[in-house]
């Protein structure tokens, strides 16, 4: 039996398929890494965010085993009830020290952290100023807050300044990805901080893709931003850190406020403490991870040199492990992604509405877990397909 509401939903699914916008999940049948088994096929993967190759690292796995015997599997309660374990606490202290902020708070995911931070800092009377290419979770967070939501063109700080000058909101919050997830470019942190200071705004920077990778792993903040009480820093911990969760680092009063007000922190079960134990080990590996970062930087340079003059698309200007090749039409990007997969190379096609219309792209991400041969194979295949 069907009913009209279900029929409309099925028509919606049909329309997505017709527009090449239907999403499907691939089945991963191995640990995460540069070489994975996916949908029954062995492939070299150029699409994980496991930039340092820590997701299946033996030291993190050993930390999980050890913690499991000590604290079991589930946290069993929210942080403000009885779910706040010593591992959570120790991780927060280690994280704050590492990124050189005075305090930190561990959330279950980056998505939840963004909802929590933005809604705790601004309400209906406030105004959020956001780069147009910010991550979807920051867009959702601004909308959930009920604040006025003002967006500026990607990296156009003169437009942002005009918007700040025109604002009468008592609470102003500038939010930006630090490394933009679909383009791989970075926000001008000190210039944003200048504006935050001039207009008495908070500056919230989402460094999902920079933490663990940039500045000896400490992420994309400048020294000035680390020292500033207005800057609130987010690292997600499922990417380079290889585990799960997200940490917000800020002045201790901001962290105290989040504990009181951030609903996605308060009204949810604490993440399993064994994950926090893994994260403690991950911070150690990141801190001692210059060899991994050096390898990653070599891969980035090798790819960029190799793809200079590529015929089938335009390699975007990025110095980070996110190296997109803009193709244009959704269908063309999908076709190329499929051709690569037939040759054992997994590179996702990122389409509208995740990226602006006619900028569908192959989004290549590199990891320290790749070998120089993996990168060479991708470069050769892309040239051959053109
Ligand atoms: C991945 C990502 C998030 C979400 O983090 P999760 O921990 O995966 O929920 C937030 N912001 C940016 C920029 C991201 O890339």
How far is it, in rounded angstroms, from Cα 136 to Cα 154?
Answer: 14
Tell me the residue length of the chain. Answer: 386
- In this structure, the answer to whether residues 216 and 297 fall within a common structural domain is no
The CATH number of the domain holding residue 264 is: 3.40.640.10
Q: Whose CA is nearest to atom 5 of ligand 1?
A: 110
Q: Which of 287, 312, 342 is the last residue of a domain?
A: 287
Longest distance between any two alpha carbons in the chain, whole Å:
63
Cα angle 139, 170, 143; round to 5: 15
Residues 101 and 163 in one domain: yes
State whether the Cα torsion 169-141-316-286 is positive or negative: positive
The dihedrals phi and psi of 121, each to the nearest 5 degrees, come to -90, -30
Strands 360-365 and 322-328: antiparallel
Q: Are residues 247 and 314 in the same domain?
A: no
Return the residue whose CA atom lies nearest to atom 4 of ligand 1: 110
Range of the domain at 315: 20-52+290-385
The CATH number covering residue 344 comes to 3.90.1150.10
Whose Cα sits closest to atom 7 in ligand 1? 110
Distance 4 CA to ligand 1 centre (A): 36
- Distance from the CA of 344 to the center of ligand 1, in angstroms? 27
Counting the structural domains of the chain, the total is: 2
> How many A from CA of 137 to the centre of ligand 1?
7
264 with 299, same domain? no
Cβ–ligand 1 contact at 330 (below 6 Å): no
CA pseudo-torsion sign 131, 136, 138, 143: positive
Phi, psi for 76 (deg, rounded to 5): 80, -10
Residue 2 maps to a domain: no
Is there a single domain that holds both residue 263 and residue 298?
A: no
- Domain membership of residue 10 (yes or no) is no
Residue 238, classed as helix, strand or coil, is coil
Single out the residue of 293, 299, 283, 279 nearest to residue 216, CA to CA.
293
Position 7 in a domain:
no
Q: Which residue has the tokens 């967070």?
A: 141
Residues 76 and 147 in one domain: yes
Phi, psi of 83 (to 5 degrees): -90, 0
Q: Answer yes or no: do 27 and 159 share one domain.
A: no
Shared domain for 255 and 314, answered yes or no, is no
Kindly write down the DSSP assignment for every residue of 95-110, as one continuous string.
HHHHHT-SEEEEES-H
* Vertex 158 angle, CA 153 and 159, to 5°: 45
Of 241, 260, 287, the residue that ends a domain is 287
Find out whether the beta carbon of 134 lies less than 6 Å from any atom of ligand 1: no
The DSSP code for 289 is -
Residue 53 to residues 96, 144, 284, 303: CA-CA distances in angstroms?
23, 35, 14, 18
Are the C-beta atoms of 285 and 57 separated by less than 8 Å?
yes
Q: Which has the closest alpha carbon to 384: 300, 307, 303, 304?
A: 307
Strands 322-328 and 314-315: antiparallel
Q: Cα separation of 179 and 377, whole Å?
A: 27
239 C-alpha to center of ligand 1: Å? 8
DSSP single-letter state for residue 324 = E
- Do 144 and 137 form a contact (C-beta atoms < 8 A)? no
- Specify whether 95 is located in the same domain as 203: yes
Render each residue's pLDDT in the chain as its tens digit; 386 residues.
689 999 999 999 999 999 877 888 999 999 999 999 999 999 999 999 999 999 999 999 999 999 999 999 999 999 999 999 999 999 999 999 999 999 999 999 999 999 999 999 999 999 999 999 999 999 999 999 999 999 999 999 999 999 999 999 999 999 999 999 999 999 999 999 999 999 999 999 999 999 999 999 999 999 999 999 999 999 999 999 999 999 999 999 999 999 999 999 999 999 999 999 999 999 999 999 999 999 999 999 999 999 999 999 999 999 999 999 999 999 999 999 999 999 999 999 998 888 999 999 999 999 999 999 999 999 999 999 98
The residue out of 233, 261, 287 marking a domain boundary is 287
């Amino acid at each position: 039996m069907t009913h009209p509401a279900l029929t409309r939903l099925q028509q919606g699914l049909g329309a997505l398929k017709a527009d090449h916008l239907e999403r499907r999940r691939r089945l991963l049948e191995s640990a995460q890494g540069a070489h994975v088994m996916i949908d029954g096929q062995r492939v070299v993967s150029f699409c994980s965010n496991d930039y340092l190759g820590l997701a299946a690292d033996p030291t993190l796995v050993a930390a999980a085993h050890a913690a499991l015997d000590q604290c079991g599997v589930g946290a069993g309660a929210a942080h403000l009830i009885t779910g706040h374990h010593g591992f959570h606490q120790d991780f927060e202290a280690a994280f704050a020290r590492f990124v050189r902020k005075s305090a930190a708070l561990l959330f279950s995911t980056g998505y939840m952290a963004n909802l929590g931070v933005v809604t705790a800092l601004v309400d209906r009377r406030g105004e959020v100023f956001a780069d147009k290419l910010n991550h979807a979770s920051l867009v959702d967070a601004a909308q959930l807050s009920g604040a006025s939501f003002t967006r500026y063109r990607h990296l156009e700080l003169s437009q942002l300044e005009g918007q700040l000058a025109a604002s009468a909101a008592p609470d102003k919050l500038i939010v930006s990805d630090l490394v933009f997830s679909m383009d791989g470019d970075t926000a001008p942190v000190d210039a944003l901080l200048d504006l935050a200071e001039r207009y008495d705004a908070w500056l919230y920077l989402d460094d999902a893709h920079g933490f663990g990778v940039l500045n000896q792993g400490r992420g994309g903040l400048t020294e000035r931003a680390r020292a500033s009480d207005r800057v609130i820093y987010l690292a997600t911990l499922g990417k380079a850190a290889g585990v799960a969760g997200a940490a917000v680092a800020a002045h201790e009063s901001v962290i105290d406020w989040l504990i009181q007000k951030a609903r996605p922190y308060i009204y949810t079960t604490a993440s399993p403490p064994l994950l926090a134990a893994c994260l403690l080990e991950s911070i150690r590996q990141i801190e001692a991870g210059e060899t991994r970062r050096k390898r990653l930087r070599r891969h980035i340079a090798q790819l960029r040199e190799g793809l200079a003059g590529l015929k089938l698309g335009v390699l975007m200007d990025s110095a980070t492990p996110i190296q997109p090749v803009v193709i244009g039409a959704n269908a063309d990007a999908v076709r190329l992604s499929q051709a690569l997969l037939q040759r054992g190379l997994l590179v996702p096609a990122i389409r509208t509405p995740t990226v602006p219309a006619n900028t569908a792209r192959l989004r290549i991400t590199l990891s320290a877990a790749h070998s120089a041969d993996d990168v060479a194979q991708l470069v050769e295949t892309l040239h051959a397909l053109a």
